[in-house]
Amino acid sequence: METGFLPNAGLQTLLDALHQAGYRCVGPRVRDGAIVYDTLRDISELPQGIVDVQAPGEYRLEKSANPRHFSWANGPQALKPFLFAAREPLWRSGRDARGELRFVELAPPGESLAFVGARACDLAALRLQDRHFLEGAFPDSGYAARRKSIFLVAVHCTHPADTCFCASTGDGPRATQEFDIALSELDDGYLVQHGSDKGRALAAKLPLVPATDKQRMSADGDIQDAARRQTRRLPSRNLRAALFANLGHPRWDNIAERCLSCGNCTSVCPTCYCHSVADETALDGRESLHLRLWDSCFTQKHSYIHGMTLRPDTRTRYRQWLTHKLGSWHDQFGRSGCVGCGRCIAWCPVGIDITQEAGEICGGAAHD
Amino acid sequence: MTSPSLPYETEVVERIQESPTIFTLRLRFTDPAYRAAFRFEPGQFNMLYLYGVGEVAISIVSDPDDEHLFSHTIRVVGRVTRGMAQLKSGDRLGVRGPYGRGWPLPLAEGRDVMVLTGGLGCAPVVSVINYVTRRRDRFRRLVIMQGVKHSDDLIWRKQYAAWGKLRDTQVLVAANVGATLWPWHVGNVTELFDQVKFDAPRAVVMMCGPEGMMEVAMQQLLDRGVSPDNVYLSMERNMNCAIGLCGHCQFGGKYVCRDGPVFRYSDVKPLFGIRGF
The pLDDT of residue B152 is 85
Residue ranges covered by each domain of chain B = 8-99, 105-268
Candidates B238, B256, B269, partner chain A, best to mutate (most A CBs within 10 A)? B238
Chain A contacts of B52, Cβ < 8 Å?
93, 95, 279, 281, 285, 288
What does the alpha-carbon distance between residue B100 and residue B241 come to, in Å, rounded to a whole number? Answer: 12
For residue A153, list its beta bridge partners.
A116, A181
Q: Which CATH number fits domain B105-268: 3.40.50.80, 3.60.21.10, 2.60.40.1930, 3.40.630.30?
A: 3.40.50.80
The pLDDT of residue A1 is 72
- What's the pLDDT tens digit per position in A59-80? 999 999 999 999 999 999 989 9
Place B58 in a pLDDT band, splitting at 50, 70 and 90: very high
- Averaged pLDDT, A220-227: 97
The pLDDT of residue B50 is 98
Q: Tell me which of A181-185, A343-347, B163-167 is least confident.
A: B163-167
Place B121 in a pLDDT band, splitting at 50, 70 and 90: low
Does residue B159 contact residue B61 with C-beta atoms inside 8 Å?
Answer: no
The pLDDT of residue A101 is 97
What does the DSSP 8-state code read for residue A48?
T
Strands B204-208 and B185-186, how do they pair? unpaired
Asked if residue A368 has pLDDT above 80, the reply is no
Decide if A315 and B276 are in contact by the 8 Å CB cutoff.
Answer: yes
Beginning with the edge strand found earlier in the chain, give each strand of the sheet holding B45-50 in spatial order.
Answer: B54-59, B45-50, B92-99, B8-19, B22-29, B70-75
The pLDDT of residue A365 is 65
Does residue B94 contact residue A103 with C-beta atoms inside 8 Å?
Answer: yes
How many of the other CB atoms lie within 10 Å of CB of A100?
A: 12
How many of the other CB atoms lie within 10 Å of CB of A335?
A: 16
Decide if A278 and B4 are in contact by the 8 Å CB cutoff.
Answer: no
- Averaged pLDDT, A148-167: 97
- What's the pLDDT tens digit per position in A37-50? 999 999 999 999 99
For residue A35, list its beta bridge partners.
A30
Partner B contacted by A333 (CB < 8 A): no
- Crossing angle (nearest 10°) for helices A314-323 and A354-363: 90
The angle subtended at Cα B24 by Cα B21 and Cα B29, nearest 5°, is: 140
What does the DSSP 8-state code read for residue B83?
H
Tally of residues, chain B: 277
Place B1 in a pLDDT band, splitting at 50, 70 and 90: low
Chain A contacts of B240, Cβ < 8 Å?
275-277, 295
Chain B contacts of A316, Cβ < 8 Å?
275-276
What does the alpha-carbon distance between residue A63 and residue A130 come to, in Å, rounded to a whole number? Answer: 36
What does the alpha-carbon distance between residue A100 and residue B9 come to, in Å, rounded to a whole number? Answer: 8
- Averaged pLDDT, A335-364: 96
The pLDDT of residue A110 is 77
What does the DSSP 8-state code read for residue A342?
-
Tell me the C-alpha to C-alpha distance, in Å, between residue A199 and each of A69, A80, A258. Answer: 21, 21, 46
What sections of B53-206 are H helices per DSSP? 79-84, 105-108, 123-134, 157-163
Kindly report the nearest CA distance between residue A23 and chain B, in angstroms: 24
Partner B contacted by A139 (CB < 8 A): yes
Task: State yes or no: cis peptide before A47, omega within 30 of 0.
Answer: no
Does residue B116 contact residue B215 with C-beta atoms inside 8 Å?
Answer: no
The pLDDT of residue B119 is 77
Distance, CA of A105 to chain centre: 28
What does the alpha-carbon distance between residue A161 and residue A76 come to, in Å, rounded to a whole number? Answer: 12
- Crossing angle (nearest 10°) for helices A314-323 and A251-258: 110
- Averaged pLDDT, A97-112: 90
The pLDDT of residue B157 is 87
The residue that leads in pLDDT, A13 or B66, is A13
Q: Which of A235, A55, A266 is nearest to A160 (CA)?
A: A55
- What's the pLDDT tens digit per position in A180-198? 999 999 999 999 999 999 9
Does residue A125 contact residue A341 with C-beta atoms inside 8 Å?
Answer: yes
How high does pLDDT run on average in chain B? 93
- Averaged pLDDT, A224-240: 94
How many of the other CB atoms lie within 10 Å of CB of B272?
A: 19
Q: Tell me which of A304-318, B49-63, B73-87, B110-124 is least confident.
A: B110-124
Chain A contacts of B30, Cβ < 8 Å?
100
Does residue B243 contact residue B257 with C-beta atoms inside 8 Å?
Answer: yes
Q: Which of A303, A294, A249, A286 is nearest to A269 (CA)?
A: A294
Q: Which of A173, A336, A353, A339 is nearest to A265 (CA)?
A: A353
Host H or E run for residue B91: none
Enumerate residues 226 to 255 of chain A having a beta carbon within 8 A of any beta carbon in chain B. Answer: 244, 247
What does the alpha-carbon distance between residue A165 and residue A163 come to, in Å, rounded to a whole number? Answer: 7
Asked if residue A208 has pLDDT above 90, the reply is yes
Candidates A103, A247, A304, A315, partner chain B, best to mutate (most B CBs within 10 A)? A103
Three-state secondary structure readout of B231-254: EEEECCCCCCCCCCCCCCCEECCE
Chain B contacts of A100, Cβ < 8 Å?
9, 30, 92
- Averaged pLDDT, B212-241: 95
- Number of Cβ pairs < 8 A linking chain A and chain B: 132
The residue that leads in pLDDT, A174 or B157, is A174
How high does pLDDT run on average in chain A? 95
How many of the other CB atoms lie within 10 Å of CB of B3?
A: 18
Decide if B245 and A273 are in contact by the 8 Å CB cutoff.
Answer: yes
Q: Which amino acid is it at A41?
A: R
- What's the pLDDT tens digit per position in B242-271? 999 999 999 999 999 999 999 999 999 999
Host H or E run for residue B259: helix B256-259
Residue ranges covered by each domain of chain A = 2-228, 239-363
Q: What percent of chain A has pLDDT over 90?
A: 94
- What's the pLDDT tens digit per position in A251-284? 999 999 999 999 999 999 999 999 999 999 999 9
Kindly report the nearest CA distance between residue B46 and chain A, in angstroms: 15
Kindly report the nearest CA distance between residue B64 and chain A, in angstroms: 23
Decide if A331 and B254 are in contact by the 8 Å CB cutoff.
Answer: yes
Predicted TM-score of the model (pTM): 0.94
Task: State yes or no: cis peptide before B98, omega within 30 of 0.
Answer: yes
SS3 A363: helix
- Crossing angle (nearest 10°) for helices A354-363 and A251-258: 160
Does residue A208 contact residue A193 with C-beta atoms inside 8 Å?
Answer: no
Phi and psi for A153 in degrees, rounded to 5? Answer: -105, 110
Decide if A95 and B51 are in contact by the 8 Å CB cutoff.
Answer: yes
The pLDDT of residue B155 is 87
Q: Which of A67, A161, A64 is nearest to A121 (CA)?
A: A161
Enumerate residues 174 to 203 of chain A having a beta carbon within 8 A of any beta carbon in chain B. Answer: none
What sections of A206-291 are H helices per DSSP? 213-228, 239-244, 251-258, 264-268
Chain A contacts of B4, Cβ < 8 Å?
138
What does the alpha-carbon distance between residue B237 and residue B263 come to, in Å, rounded to a whole number? Answer: 13
What does the DSSP 8-state code read for residue B261?
B
SS3 A34: strand
Asked if residue B153 has pLDDT above 90, the reply is no
Q: Which amino acid is it at B227?
A: S
Burial label, A16 (beta-carbon count in 10 A; 0-12, 13-18, 19+) = middle
Decide if A247 and B248 are in contact by the 8 Å CB cutoff.
Answer: no
What does the alpha-carbon distance between residue A357 and residue A346 come to, in Å, rounded to a whole number? Answer: 14
Chain A contacts of B275, Cβ < 8 Å?
310, 316
CATH of domain B8-99: 2.40.30.10
Decide if B276 and A310 are in contact by the 8 Å CB cutoff.
Answer: yes
DSSP for B173-203 reads: EEEEE--TT--SEES-GGGGGGG--S-TTT-
- Averaged pLDDT, A343-365: 94
Tell me the C-alpha to C-alpha distance, in Å, between residue A57 and each of A162, A223, A339. Answer: 11, 26, 19
